[in-house]
Amino acid sequence: MRAPPLPPLLLPLLLLAARAPPPRAAAAPTPPGWEPAADAPWCPYKELPEGAEAGGGRLCFRSPAHGFRCQAPACAAHASAGRSLRASVLRNRSVLLQWRLAPADARRVRAFALNCSWRGAYTRFPCQRVLLGAACRDYLVPAVHDSVRYRLCLQPLRAAAAAAAQEPGECVEFVAEPAGLQEIVVAMTAVGGSICVMLVVICLLVAYITENLMHPAFGRPGLRRQP
């Protein structure tokens, strides 16, 4: 049996549907970057004294570092093993610590615990403990010592219901190189070059004085006086 013919208006619609491109998949959300959220103008934090609990310390506020870029030679960047924690060592011996979280993890985090330590000859010594708010994505360590290996560890603190499954966090290690070493070498080279030029000028001046002032009559034909 032959199929009935299609209506004249239905055939162009089927041709257009066959030529139409397939619907595009929804664009994936942009992964979160190192920048803090735009609706978080302040970062609340507490610097905890040695041996104090989370409730101790004084509450402070700092402005997030928007638009920061670590560029050599004024800055050296060091990342953790998971690439979610980064320490930017600046030339003025301060360190900007930055971190990022996935959107699903950021909704469950209520605070961050930052622990700082440095390696001695035989053991490690604590240097700073900070409790940061959930909106914080960076923290500035004001000053570090040269040629000392530091270790900064950041641990996300979740709600009390998930306290038993707290993550260990990530750590980043770095060594601050001696400040101004390259500038000192350049300055010493410039001073050494200037001293060499001055010595050459002094030697030429001494040779000129010796040749023309100390022995003016030697090597010149004298004029004989007529009788």
Q: 29-45: per-residue pLDDT in tens?
A: 444 456 666 666 789 99
Q: For residues 78 and 76, what is the distance between their CA atoms, to the nearest angstrom?
A: 7
Which residues are 95's β-sheet partners?
89, 141
- Exposure string of 157-180, with b = 16+ CB inside 10 Å and e = fewer, is bbeeeeeeeeeebbbbebbbeeee
pLDDT at 28 over 80: no
pLDDT at 11 over 80: no
Q: For residues 82 and 75, what is the distance between their CA atoms, to the nearest angstrom?
A: 21
SS3 content of the chain, % helix, strand, coil (to 5): 25, 30, 45
If one compares 190 and 136, the residue with the highest pLDDT of the two is 136
If one compares 131 and 28, the residue with the highest pLDDT of the two is 131
Separation in Å, CA 114 to CA 48, 175, 180, 189: 10, 18, 29, 43
Categorize the per-residue pLDDT at 111 as very low, low, confident or very high, splitting at 50, 70 and 90. Answer: very high
Sheet (strand 95-99) strand order: 75-79, 85-90, 95-99, 138-141
Report if pTM > 0.75: no
Q: For residues 185 and 188, what is the distance between their CA atoms, to the nearest angstrom?
A: 5
Half-sphere exposure of 195 (CA within 13 A, CB side): 6
Categorize the per-residue pLDDT at 121 as very low, low, confident or very high, splitting at 50, 70 and 90. Answer: confident
Categorize the per-residue pLDDT at 117 as very low, low, confident or very high, splitting at 50, 70 and 90. Answer: very high
